[in-house]
Amino acid sequence: MLLETEGLTKRFGGITAVDGVDFALEAGELCSIIGPNGAGKTTFFNLLTGVLEPSDGRIRFDPPSGGGGPDGGATDGTGSALDITAASPNETALAGIHRSYQITNLFPTLTVLENVRIAAQAGRGNDSWKLWRNVTEFDDHYAEATAILERIGLAGTGETVTQNLSHGEKRSLEIGVALAGDPDLLLLDEPTAGVSSDGVDEVVALIEDVAEDHSVMLIEHNMEVVMDISDRIAVLHRGALIADGPPEDVRGDEAVQEAYLGGYGREGSADERASGAADADETGDAAADGGRRVRRGEKR
């Protein structure tokens, strides 16, 4: 098991944003986390990456690469999992969990290449202090950044000032920044949000490509995308995990239909209308984002 949570809970005053979640991710899986607005999805990511400390429960991470301990050193390679329950964001990144954000997290006035190169320098490993030294002396980081730009389809824009990229390109660059430092697990928070329908296809293709050699957790409201690319779907509702399984099972789950999908995927309903969930008012974002068809290509 790559990642495991046990009774994971986060309370904000009287609100229980994440409520006793037992979740496990196998290495190599692409697992989408879905649920209505306020279900606790982003809070779950914040707990996994150390942005927030749990009120209760545990998180364990067992990276195939051995990861880095809280002091940045590698584990002993015996396969013993790291307890990252109380780890900081820097420690989870060193361990091998990287993340892209819902709201763009790039340096807008730096070039595209500089954004990835800085992430490569500050990324995994024990040399984040080198960020403050002359960036031009690190040819290996330059090479890594160049290779990442190639992979994310932005090779031609390396010298472009980041704020001039299209929204879709910025979302791809966010994924590129998260890739720097060679993580084992990527957490992607709504990578297609706000992207035009043409751009969505490119971002989805990139996620599928990245999932070939990384484990991925994806928060996504576009049900066409989720059903198409996920190996597994976990559904949060009011902080609790109400379903967890392959897309076809989750789509047919009564509790999920009730809480979120509102008819999506049922015969003669939303699938045929290509318009997502049946009732936007009751089902939140599934309806709002469901109007797009992604190609029904082969699963990974």
Q: How far is the CB of 145 from ligand ATP (least distance, A)?
A: 30
Q: How far apart are CA 124 and CA 99, in angstroms?
A: 12
Q: Is residue 134 exposed (0-12), middle (13-18) or buried (19+ Cβ within 10 Å)?
A: exposed
What sign does the CA torsion over 147, 151, 155, 159 have?
negative
H-helix or E-strand spanning residue 7: strand 3-12
Q: How far is the CB of 225 from ligand ATP (least distance, A)?
A: 15
Q: How far apart are CA 69 and CA 74, in angstroms?
A: 6
Q: Candidates 9-17, 63-71, 83-91, 199-207 — which segment interacts with ligand ATP by CB under 6 A?
A: 9-17
Nearer to ligand ATP, 40 or 262 (CB): 40
Nearer to ligand ATP, 123 or 239 (CB): 239
Angle at 113 between CA 93 and CA 138, to 5 degrees: 70
Nearer to ligand ATP, 38 or 158 (CB): 38
User: How many residues form the binding site for ligand ATP (CB under 6 A)?
Assistant: 11
**165-184 positions binding ligand ATP, by CB under 6 A:** none
Instruction: Decide: is 17 part of the binding site for ligand ATP (CB under 6 A).
Output: yes
Q: How far is the CB of 239 from ligand ATP (least distance, A)?
A: 7
**239-278 positions binding ligand ATP, by CB under 6 A:** none
Nearer to ligand ATP, 118 or 187 (CB): 187
How distant, in Å, are the alpha carbons of 3, 4, 44, 203, 259 from that of 17? 20, 18, 8, 29, 16
Contacts of 126 (CB under 8 A, 6+ apart): 68, 72, 73, 94
The answer to whether residues 226 and 32 touch, using CB atoms and an 8 Å cutoff, is yes
Q: How far is the CB of 246 from ligand ATP (least distance, A)?
A: 22
Could you count the other beta carbons within 10 Å of the beta carbon of residue 246?
11
Q: How far is the CB of 163 from ligand ATP (least distance, A)?
A: 24
Helix residue spans in 34-111 (DSSP H):
41-48, 89-95
CA 81 to chain centre: 21
Q: How far is the CB of 279 from ligand ATP (least distance, A)?
A: 17
Nearer to ligand ATP, 12 or 293 (CB): 12
Q: How far is the CB of 47 from ligand ATP (least distance, A)?
A: 10
Nearer to ligand ATP, 19 or 202 (CB): 19
Nearer to ligand ATP, 12 or 300 (CB): 12
User: At residue 99, what are phi and psi to the nearest 5 degrees?
Assistant: -145, 145
State the DSSP string of 220-277.
---HHHHHHH-SEEEEEETTEEEEEE-HHHHHT-HHHIIIIITTTTSTTSHHHHTS-S
Nearer to ligand ATP, 100 or 115 (CB): 100
Q: What is the DSSP letter of 157?
A: G
One character per residue 22-51, x = contact with ligand ATP (rule: CB under 6 A): -------------x-xxxxxxx--------
Q: How far is the CB of 254 from ligand ATP (least distance, A)?
A: 21
**91-120 positions binding ligand ATP, by CB under 6 A:** none
Residues engaged in binding ligand ATP (CB under 6 A)? 12, 15, 17, 35, 37-43
